[in-house]
Amino acid sequence: MINCIKKPYNSVWVWADTQEELGLTFMRFQEYYESSNLEFRGKIFTQGQLKRWYSETYGSNSYHTHWVGFNFPSIVLNPFKEGLFDPLTIEEQRLLDLFKYRSDNFYIIGAQNNSTLRHELSHALYASNPKYRDEINKFLNKNKTKLKSTSKYILDKGYCPEVLYDEIQAYVTDNDDNELINNTCPSIISGINKIFNKYNVEKVKK
């Protein structure tokens, strides 16, 4: 089963009994929102099609266990509510049921532990606060030449270019990916964290 609780930045944190259940719950919502595969991003597709592509691309049907954190704006729920993804899985229906009485705009994050939660809350901040987002984007735009290694690392992990800056700020501020931190210019890290600390309203313990 899944549970949820309200969090800062107009977000809702969702967790499940297991990581596998969380992944199965979020996989189609997440890929509809920001898939690196244009056959899925903003398109209607089956879970079988997604699993087949992932298996052929990455060698195994491991999407729901490989990706441990999820995030997207509530507008992503609409095509699922409208029946465009019929049939829904049991897990997807449970997620929709959590929010069936909400018609406002909010942000949904999925995580099983505090480390992942920190990362996903950074996405919620980036999405909900235009001032924070603008400062991050301007800072990263000014430092593009210093971001080559970091950008390649993010894109090679399977993210689409449209969310590159969002992912960079989330990975830097959660400080849990040693390979990314070791290959990112220290001035980039300190600059992002300086901006983040101006707007961060929640300290998530490790």
- Pair 33, 73 in one domain: yes
pLDDT tens across 21-42, in order?
999 999 999 999 999 999 999 9
The verdict on residue 206 lying in a domain is no
Q: How confident is the model at residue 205 (pLDDT cuts 50, 70, 90)?
A: very low
**Could you check whether the bond before residue 8 is cis, i.e. omega within 30 degrees of 0?**
no
Average pLDDT, the chain: 94
Same domain, yes or no: 48 and 70: yes
What's residue 16's pLDDT?
Answer: 97
Is the pLDDT at 89 greater than 80? The verdict is yes
Q: What is the pLDDT of residue 173?
A: 94
* pLDDT band, very low/low/confident/very high, at 65 (cuts 50, 70, 90): confident
Residues in the chain: 206
Q: Given a cut of 90, is residue 204 above it in pLDDT?
A: no
State what percent of residues in the chain have pLDDT above 70: 98
Single-letter residue type at 116: T
If asked whether residues 82 and 142 sit together in one domain, one would say no
Q: What is the mean pLDDT of residues 116-121?
A: 95
The pLDDT assigned to 203 comes to 59
Nearest CA among 195, 186, 189, 181 for reference residue 137:
195
* pLDDT at site 75: 98
Q: Examine the pLDDT at 206 and tell me if it is beyond 50.
A: no
In a domain, 72, yes or no: yes
Q: Please tell me the predicted confidence (pLDDT) of residue 64.
A: 85
Same domain, 137 and 186: yes
Give the residue-averaged pLDDT of 7-12.
97
Stretch 71-85: mean pLDDT:
98
Please tell me the pTM assigned to this model.
Answer: 0.93
**108 part of a folded domain:** yes
3-state secondary structure of 11: strand
**For residues 7 and 115, which has the higher predicted lDDT (pLDDT)?**
7
User: Number of folded domains in the chain?
Assistant: 2
Are residues 57 and 20 located together in one domain of the fold?
A: yes
Distance in angstroms (rounded) separating the CA atoms of residues 33 and 43: 9
Reply yes or no on whether the pLDDT at 107 is more than 80: yes
User: Is pLDDT of 131 > 50?
Assistant: yes
Residue 205 lies in a domain: no
Does any domain span residue 91? Answer: yes
Q: How far is CA 21 from CA 16, 94, 142, in A?
A: 6, 11, 41
**Whole-number Cα distances in Å, 67 to 30, 34, 62, 79, 159:** 10, 13, 8, 22, 11
